Amino acid sequence: MLSIEAAVVILIGLLFFMLANVDYAYSVFLGGMAFIVPNLIFTFVSLRTSSGSSGSALAWFYIGEAIKIVFTILIFTVSILLISSLNIGLMFVTYGLILLINLTGLALLMNK
């Protein structure tokens, strides 16, 4: 799922780069990365242990979720503070779009 989401972000970013300007492309890219990077970190942390008790696996899941939330907030905050020409609305719309793609993918997987 993360590969598909990354491909969508790259394609939308390239589209905005060609049709609009580089500021919009940055906004799209950073909005997508605010979803993809924390979820990638979550995946690595929550799947850290494949053996052991279920309590240990659950603990790593919660640790991964906390890290994901912190990194999401961090990416949004740093982007907004450091990039003055950032289109904040477009950044949040891209984040929401990638979130919807993720939820749609999960729904499709659950129906199989």
Indicate the domain borders of the chain. 2-105
Instruction: Tell the residue number behind the tokens 């990354």, with chain if given.
Output: 6
Closest CA to 27 of 93, 102, 100: 93
pLDDT on residue 47:
78
Block mean pLDDT (10 aa), the chain, length 112: 88 91 91 94 80 72 91 95 91 94 89 80
pTM over 0.85: no
pLDDT on residue 32:
93
pLDDT in tens, 74-100: 999 999 999 988 999 999 999 999 999
